[in-house]
Amino acid sequence: MPFTRITLRQGYSEAALHQISTLLQQALVAEFDVPEHDCFQVIEMLPAGQRVFDRHYLSGGRSDNFVLFQVTAGRPRTRQQKQRFYHSLCTTLQAEMAIDPDDVMIIIQFNSTEEWSFSGGRMLAQEAL
């Protein structure tokens, strides 16, 4: 049940945004143990002045094509699952869209089921998972 916010530069076409969304979902399903149709994403394109980032911190060099994926998930994953997810997403974005892995930053945060309400003001119960 992850929720992902994708933040990137302005100028991507609807087709490119759809492709990024699809590649993210494929990586989540393949490497992060997410059901195929469990897809919740927000994509925001921001002008250069609203994206402030260090171009070199723990990276070979970020360009204006920097993309941030903020993943919030309810169930913790293993270190190996996270590493496979990072690698899969970066590799696929590079192969399919020519997005340099140095331009990809991924942040994963976990929380409990009681911090989710998917509809109707009802707290997600652990038993529902």
pLDDT for 59-68, tens place per residue?
999 999 999 9
Q: Determine what percent of the chain is predicted with pLDDT higher than 90.
A: 85
Mean pLDDT, to the nearest integer, of 6-34? 98
Reading the block at residue 16, the tokens are 């490119």
Q: What would the CATH number be for the domain defined by 3-123?
A: 3.30.429.10
Mean pLDDT, to the nearest integer, of 113-119? 88
Q: Kindly list the distances between the CA atom of residue 108 and the CA atoms of 2, 49, 111, in Å, as whole numbers in the listed order.
A: 9, 25, 10
Query: What confidence score (pLDDT) does residue 125 get?
Result: 74
The type of residue at 38 is: D
Beta bridge partners of 7: 44, 68
The pTM assigned to this predicted structure is 0.94
Q: Identify the band that residue 1 occupies on the pLDDT scale cut at 50, 70 and 90.
A: confident
Reading the block at residue 19, the tokens are 């492709």
Query: What confidence score (pLDDT) does residue 32 get?
Result: 98
